[in-house]
Each structure stands twice: as C-alpha cells, then as structure tokens.
C-alpha cells in the first residue's frame, strides 16, 4: 500500500512538473529599438509605407516615414523592409487564464457559486503562466479582457497583457467592468422535466429583470449611508460613479431593447452589448445611446433557418454600416483556444466587404476604446505603449500571419510556445522519415 502511495505521488508530481508553462516573461526594455522599412498598419484605418518606428522606455517615441537612407538610428536596428507592423491585437470578453483543462475541475476558475456576484474579481484567479495564454502571442494577440462567467451578475473583469510572471505583473486595467448576463425572454422546453420541446416563453423573464433592478436599488440605498459591510453592494460603487463599465451579455432584439431601457432607468454611463446576435434590429437605438457591440466570432453558423447563410460573417459590417461601434470577441465553444484566431475573424469581416484596415481597427483601436485603454494601446502613435508585432505578411490572413518579432511595452517577447515546440519536433520527425525513405 505504501509503495502504491509513493508511486501515485511521483506520478502526480511528474504531471505537475510537465504541466508547467515554458514561457519566461521578457525583461524590461533597456535600449532603444528601431524598426526600419516596414509597412505600418496604424490601427486607426491608416497605413504608412516604408515606416520608421522607434521604441524607447516602453513607448513609441517616434513613428514617421523613412526620409533618407542616411538617417542615424538609435539602439538595436530591425530591418523590416517587405514586412508589416501592427498594434497588438486585443481580445475582449475572454476567459483566458481562468481555465487550463476543461475536464480538470481544479483548473477551472471561470465561474463561482451564486447568482448575483459583482464582488467576484477575475483578476486574482488569472493564471499568467497558462500554456493557452502564451499560445496567443505567435498570432499577435497580446492583450485581453479576462471575464468571469455564470449567474445573473457574474462579476468584474480586468484587462491584462499576455507576458507576465503573475496577475500583478499582467494587469493593464484593474476591475474595468461589471458583467451582466441578461435573461432570455424565450427558452427551450426541458424534456427531462416533462416540458414540450422547442422554444417557449420564459415565465421568469420579467421577474429576473426585476431582480436586477432591485439589486441596483438596494446597492444605491446601501451606498447612500450604511453602518454595515456588504461586499456585493460595495462593488457597485464604481459603477454608479461612472468608473466601471457595464457589459451586458445579450443576443435577442427584444432583450437588447430592454437592456437599453434598463441602462436609462439606472443612469449607467458606460454600457456595452456583448454577443448582440440580433443587434441589427436595435441598431438605431444602439447608435442613439452610443452603445458599442462586441460581436461574437464570425466563424459561426446562423442560429435560425430563415437567416442568410453568411449572417454571422457579415454582422459586424452591417452594424458598422449602421453607425454602431463594433469590436470582435470569441466566446463560445473552445473559446480560449479560438481566441488566437481573432486576426482571422477580422480577415473574414474584410472578405465580406469591410475595408481591411477598418477590419483591423475592430480588434485594435475599437477594442481599446471599448475597454477604456485607448490612451495607451490600440494604435501605433507616438507616446503610446510599444505593444506591437512584426509579421512577414498580412496579419489578417492565416497563410501569411507569420510573426518575426512581438513587443509588449517595449519588451521583446519569446514567440516559442508548447505548440511551436511540438510543431518543430514532429516536422523534424517526418522530415527525417522522408530522407530515410529516399535512401532506401
């Protein structure tokens, strides 16, 4: 029995050791870096050919066209003629770092027990050494909003950068937004409860909205002067002060309109729709109330039989054409792994008619504006953070999105991940196998 216990312990320790991520965060920038000759995609819809970009002390100190081949460049020089420079791609509404292995419950921190949990903070559960997080960087996804799931109010998100030792090092904007999962006015029949299959009216829809209204009212009453401590109510103070945004996860047109009415009743300043599958029907109201939409991944099938086959692909463009600010998010099945496909989602939107530089803006500057970090991130501008990457070709095309360099706050990142190590290992295996076959 003792031998079995020791053997089990060794196996467990070996599993833990082998599961540790291989990334090592880059040290702070100590010398200037000059990128010469690349085509710079600024992230604001503009392109600069033959650019000169100088990174100093973690910031972009200069960005301009190359005016002379005899110019003196400071620090380390990266000759990037024929390559492309982009601002770091930003992933809103992500659970990266909250779940490592779906089937292993101790690695799943995306949800907490309870229905109304505004005081739950995703940041302190964020695993900066996640192997999934490090796999974002080779595609240029360098920042993200880490969001809790579940309940009526699931908690508070934070924005992080994807090259850090721990969550304290990773944080870019702490406790940026409260997340509400708006109830559905319809639900599917629960066959196991003896209900008929198919859609039916949700009898609890009105009462669920009333729960939200009551909680907001109770929070305001508590914050107006109370002698006892309530963590949930305390977490609402930044919302009422306009310092914390409210992200509402909702898809139906009726539900979106009801959520807009809720915003007005509660006098919420910063309001964002997440998902918004049927947001097109409420586009006028969204524009009038200056409410942006995080559109779910375009690589999806239509939800209804009578919808255009390419409706999910073109929804972002249709909303943008209607004057709504749009960004892209990737929640849903295998969402953490699929987050690395954000640049290709934007490429799909461009293939459906949107100007390619504007499609890039959806996952750079628009995302930064919606998350409230556009002062430092989202575009290539002097004075902003040196968070960017160099690609061999078009970053929105999976065939040419091949990174040679990536930087976060001027720190040059390793682009090696568990996936790239496996690719090299097995590509060499088959290369050697081909050579052996030729010799035979």
**Nearest Cα to 247, choosing from 114, 370, 128?**
370
DSSP for 5-54, written as a single string: HHHHHHHHHHHHHHHS----PPPPP-S-EEEESPEEE-SSS-EESSEEEE
Q: How many CA atoms lie within 13 A of 433 on its CB side?
A: 6
pLDDT at 21: 44
Token output for 303: 């939800």
Do residues 385 and 57 make contact, with C-beta atoms less than 8 angstroms apart? no
Tell me the pLDDT band of 420, cut-offs 50, 70 and 90: confident
pLDDT at 435: 61
Query: What's the helix, strand, coil split of the chain in %, to 5?
Result: 35, 25, 40
Q: Of 76-90, 192-206, 344-358, 406-420, which gets the smallest average pLDDT?
A: 192-206
Over residues 331-352, mean pLDDT: 93
274 CB-near residues (< 8 Å, 6+ apart)? 92, 93, 179, 247, 248, 249, 250, 293, 294, 329, 331
Q: Is the pLDDT of residue 1 over 50?
A: no
Q: Of 298-307, 352-361, 389-398, which gets the smallest average pLDDT?
A: 298-307
**Whole-angstrom Cα distance, residue 363 to residue 38?**
21
**Whole-angstrom Cα distance, residue 19 to residue 16?**
5
Token output for 340: 């690395």
pLDDT at 339: 94
Q: Is the pLDDT of residue 62 over 80?
A: yes
Element holding 59 (H helix, E strand): strand 59-65
Token output for 46: 């503009």
**Nearest Cα to 63, choosing from 43, 89, 82?**
43
Q: Is the pLDDT of residue 201 over 80?
A: yes
pLDDT at 229: 84
Q: Is the pLDDT of residue 100 over 90?
A: no
pLDDT at 45: 94
Q: Is the pTM of this model over 0.75?
A: yes
Over residues 4-15, mean pLDDT: 47
pLDDT at 22: 56
pLDDT at 305: 84
pLDDT at 10: 46
Q: How many other CB atoms are found less than 10 A from the CB of residue 71?
A: 10
DSSP for 220-275, written as a single string: HHHHTS-SS--HHHHTTHHHHTTSSEEEEEE--HHHHHHHHHHHHHHT-SSEEEEE
pLDDT at 197: 76
Tell me the pLDDT band of 437, cut-offs 50, 70 and 90: low
Counting runs of H as helices and runs of E as strands, what totals does the chain give?
A: 14, 20
Q: Of 129-143, 206-220, 379-393, 422-436, which gets the smallest average pLDDT?
A: 422-436
Q: pLDDT (tens digit, 9 = 90+) per residue, 217-263?
A: 999 999 988 777 889 999 999 999 999 999 999 999 999 999 999 99
Tell me the pLDDT band of 9, cut-offs 50, 70 and 90: very low
DSSP for 135-196, written as a single string: TTGGGTEEEEEE--B-SSEEEEEEEEES--SSHHHHEEEEEEEEEEEPPPSEEE--GGGTPP
CATH of domain 88-378: 3.20.20.140
Q: pLDDT (tens digit, 9 = 90+) per residue, 85-96?
A: 999 999 999 999
Mean predicted lDDT score pLDDT of the chain: 90
Q: Of 39-48, 218-227, 411-420, 429-438, which gets the smallest average pLDDT?
A: 429-438
Over residues 343-355, mean pLDDT: 95
Q: pLDDT (tens digit, 9 = 90+) per residue, 167-177?
A: 999 999 999 99
**Whole-angstrom Cα distance, residue 275 to residue 252?**
9
Over residues 73-90, mean pLDDT: 95
pLDDT at 143: 98
């Amino acid at each position: 029995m003792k031998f079995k216990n020791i053997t089990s312990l060794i196996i467990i320790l070996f599993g833990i050791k082998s599961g540790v991520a291989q990334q090592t965060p880059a040290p702070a920038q100590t010398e200037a870096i000059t990128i010469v000759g690349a085509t710079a995609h600024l992230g604001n819809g503009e392109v600069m050919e033959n650019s000169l970009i100088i990174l100093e002390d973690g910031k972009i100190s200069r960005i301009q066209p190359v005016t002379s081949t005899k110019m003196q460049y400071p620090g380390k020089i990266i000759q990037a003629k024929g390559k492309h420079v982009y601002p770091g791609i930003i992933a809103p509404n992500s659970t990266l770092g909250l779940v490592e292995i779906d089937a292993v419950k101790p690695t799943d921190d995306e949800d907490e027990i309870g229905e109304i949990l505004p005081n739950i903070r995703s940041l302190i559960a964020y695993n900066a050494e996640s192997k999934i997080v490090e796999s974002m960087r080779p595609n240029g996804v360098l920042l993200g909003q880490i969001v809790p799931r579940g309940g009526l109010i699931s908690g508070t998100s934070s924005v992080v950068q994807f090259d850090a030792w721990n969550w304290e090092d990773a944080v870019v904007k702490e406790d940026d937004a409260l997340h509400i999962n708006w109830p559905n006015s319809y639900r599917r029949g629960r066959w196991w409860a003896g209900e008929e299959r198919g859609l039916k009216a949700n009898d609890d829809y009105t009462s669920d909205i009333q729960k939200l209204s009551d909680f907001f009212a109770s929070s305001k009453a508590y914050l107006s002067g109370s002698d006892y401590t309530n963590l949930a109510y305390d977490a609402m103070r930044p919302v009422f002060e306009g310092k914390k945004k409210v992200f509402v996860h909702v898809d139906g047109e009726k539900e979106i309109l009801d959520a807009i009415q809720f915003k007005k009743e509660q006098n919420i300043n910063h309001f964002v729709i997440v998902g918004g599958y049927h947001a097109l029907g409420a586009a006028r109201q969204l524009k009038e109330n200056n409410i942006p939409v995080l559109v779910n991944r375009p690589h999806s099938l239509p939800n209804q039989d009578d919808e255009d086959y390419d409706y999910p692909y073109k929804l972002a463009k249709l909303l943008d054409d209607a004057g709504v600010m749009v960004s892209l998010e990737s929640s849903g099945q295998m969402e953490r792994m699929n987050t690395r496909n954000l640049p290709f989602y934007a490429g799909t939107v461009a293939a459906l008619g949107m100007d390619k530089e504007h499609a890039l803006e959806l996952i750079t500057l628009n995302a930064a504006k919606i998350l409230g970090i556009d002062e430092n991130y989202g575009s290539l501008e002097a004075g902003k953070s040196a968070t960017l990457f160099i690609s061999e070709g078009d970053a929105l095309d999976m065939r040419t999105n091949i990174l040679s360099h990536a930087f976060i706050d001027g720190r040059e990142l390793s682009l090696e991940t568990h996936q790239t190590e496996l690719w090299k290992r097995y590509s060499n295996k088959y290369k050697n196998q081909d050579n052996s076959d030729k010799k035979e």
